[in-house]
Amino acid sequence: MKEIALYVHIPFCKQKCFYCDFPSYAGREGLEDDYINSLIKEIDIKCSDKVIKSLFIGGGTPSHLNEDNLYKLLNKLNCLSYIENAERTIECNPGTLTESKLRIIKDCGMNRISMGLQTTNNNLLKKIGRIHTIEEFCENYNRARQFGFENINIDIMFGLPDQSISDYEETLRGIIKLKPEHISCYSLIIEEGTPFYNMSERGILNLPKEDDERQMYKLTKDILEANGYHQYEISNYSKEGMECYHNKVYWKCEEYLGVGVSSSSYINGSRVKNIDSITEYIERICSGKDIYEDVVKNTAKEDMEEFMFLGLRMIQGINKDDFKNRFKKDIYDVYRSVIKENIKKGLLKEENNNIYLTDKGIELSNYVMSEFIL
Ligand code: SF4
């Protein structure tokens, strides 16, 4: 049986955060029952002949599902075949977790929780549209520990409106005290179609200056590394041996299967994207039609580009032998001038058969990665 990483998309949220452009919707709970029934059908069709290497239930807010649906879905997923000790993550919003939901999550075999916090500052939490306070977060985090979860990720953000460097430092120091195994730190990006985008267009969003944001990035690295977290990807840090297996599948361009609306798959050399509409998804599954919006067979050139710019997100970078094994070509035959030039500019480094971004290269990562487009 084919081994694969599985992503499951839950498109419901209690409320939309002001910065979020993910495919998730508030106020659509009326569709939850039909959606979960359809999702289970898609899982039945696509997963019964697979062995799952890792499972990631994301969204949206999987923990916003009502208890019946949460149990139905997790119980179904728990009946699939897994490799031994497979990582099984569920994303949880602390404003939607309860003791009984945590019990269901634990009993159904999930072994990793990813909690969105973003900041420890209650004023900022309100300003960015989060539905929880830091106190609610801590209560749920501690409860998850009591339930025996030994692998927890906390998501935080920097570059938030009205966030000072010291606010951000407080967040970093606050979460370190909780000793999570994994921390993701992303900078706020203003995405079109979000309330923050409109506010920024109207000039009423007070974002930190570029220099301050750069300092926040540096602070993340300094404080987390001094406290036993190693950076293994541009925005991700973990305790030794606790890197997120599932995310590494994406960065290494390995195959994965996505189920649910808006999910993507990379399988047998094709990139597949499911449709976004929840109602259409339900209708199509019920009438036995396909649910694809896009199926694109990557060319060898596109595969190489993706391999380069996703691989360079990892701190260890690209292994030259991996490139050769995958594409039957020496990396220098394809990218000699780009690699040499960026090494000369101090943005890339080559060591022990690996090519990776330097600190300066990470700062200018978008530029460096764009250079690898053929
Ligand atoms: S909870 Fe997550 S998915 Fe939902 S709106 Fe907020 S950031 Fe987006």
The residue whose CA is least distant from atom 3 of ligand 1 is: 60
Question: Given pLDDT bands bounded at 50, 70 and 90, which one contains residue 232?
Answer: very high
The pLDDT-based confidence of 343 (bands split at 50, 70, 90) is: very high
Residues 6+ apart with CB under 8 A from 51: 1, 2, 3, 4, 81, 82, 83
Q: Taking a C-beta distance cutoff of 8 angstroms, is the pair 182, 224 a contact?
A: no
Judged against a pLDDT cut of 90, whether residue 374 lies above it is answered with: no
In the structure, what pLDDT confidence band is assigned to residue 166 with cuts at 50, 70 and 90? very high
Among 14, 22, 160, which residue has the most ligand 1 atoms within 8 Å of its CB, making it the best to mutate? Answer: 22
16-50 pLDDT, tens digit per residue, is 999 999 999 999 999 999 999 999 999 999 999 99
pTM of the model: 0.96
Ligand 1 close to Cβ of residue 17 (< 6 A): yes
Counting from 1 in the atom list of ligand 1, the atom nearest the Cα of 24 is 3
* Chain mean pLDDT for the chain: 97
Percent share of the chain, pLDDT over 90: 98
Instruction: Please tell me if the CB atom of residue 332 comes closer than 6 angstroms to any atom of ligand 1.
Output: no
Query: In this model, does residue 237 exceed pLDDT 90?
Result: yes
State if residue 118 touches ligand 1 by the CB under 6 angstroms criterion: no
Q: Where are the alpha helices (DSSP H) in 147-277?
A: 165-178, 195-201, 210-226, 245-251
Does ligand 1 come within 6 angstroms of the Cβ of 116?
yes
Distance from Cα 288 to the centre of ligand 1, integer Å: 30
Q: Is the pLDDT of residue 265 over 90?
A: yes
- Name the band, by pLDDT with cuts 50, 70 and 90, for residue 320: very high
